[in-house]
Amino acid sequence: MIKKRLLSYELSTSLRLTHWLRAVSIVVLIMSGFYLAYVFVTPGHSNEPILFLNAKVRMWHIIAGFLLICVTIFKIYLIFTDKYSIRERVSFLDFINPKIWFYQIRYYLFLGKHPELKGIYNPLQFATYVFLYSMVILIALTGLILYMHVYHHGLGGYLYDILRPVEAWMGGLAMVRQIHHLAMWPIIIFTVVHVYMAVFNSVMGRDGSIDTIISGYRFYKPEKKH
């Protein structure tokens, strides 16, 4: 017997697009960032001035960095304006509810059922996303400071006077570079845990979260009538 499932459109095209653009930019930034910090591949010898591998990797790092900044700004805008983001805003109510925290942790320990949520994110997800955006803002800010010290004209020149006080507050350029590198690790850890939890909830909770981020639709089991 085939069980009927309810279909609900929950994530708009804009929300899904920002998610995947953010994912691509983060992967490119991590890969290129590791190379720029620890050069592990060098091009072969040539008499022609064409083997600028470091410059090419830096170019993609900068492109991905500005893409992440733009996507993050647009995502924050969507959270407060997009009608399909209402459940993201409502997730704050679940975040401040101690009972939901208790039931959610119990669920992850295989000791109970998944709690009924008002929003789209459970408390742990909501807290993790707030932390992620904090790290993205920090790594973007430090990245712009590093950028303006290399590119002195255009945007770099415009940002120089604005961000110099922030650079001094962080302890100087060397410390800014260290903060930029350290901020990468929480993002790497988040990426791994995020993929695991998405699969966990889709398989164990059967909430269709992976389907939703691809198609925008979520499948629900119909409630039993007594």
Q: How many domains does the chain have?
A: 1
* Residue 2 covered by a domain: no
Contacts of residue 32, defined as CB under 8 A and 6 or more positions apart, other chains included, come to 57, 58, 60, 61, 64
The Cα–Cα gap between 147 and 66 comes to 11
**Residue 182: which domain range?**
7-219
Q: What's phi and psi for 131, nearest 5 deg?
A: -65, -40
Tokens in use for 89? 């805003």
Question: Does residue 45 form part of some domain?
Answer: yes
Q: What pLDDT sits at residue 129?
A: 85
Q: What secondary structure letter does DSSP report for 183?
A: H
pLDDT, tens digit, 9 for 90 and up, residues 33-83: 998 888 777 777 767 666 788 888 999 999 999 999 999 999 888 888 877
Percent of the chain whose pLDDT exceeds 70: 82
For residue 91, is it within any domain?
yes
pLDDT at 99: 87
Per-residue exposure over 110-133, b if at least 16 CB sit within 10 Å of its own CB, e if not:
eeeebbebebbbbbbbbebbeebe
Tokens of 186: 């929480």
Predicted structure pTM score:
0.80
**Which residues of the chain are modeled with pLDDT < 50?**
1-2, 225-226
Q: Let me know if residue 1 belongs to a domain.
A: no
Cα dihedral 155/186/77/61 (nearest 10): 30
What's the CATH code of the domain at 150? 1.20.950.20
d(CA 141, CA 131): 15
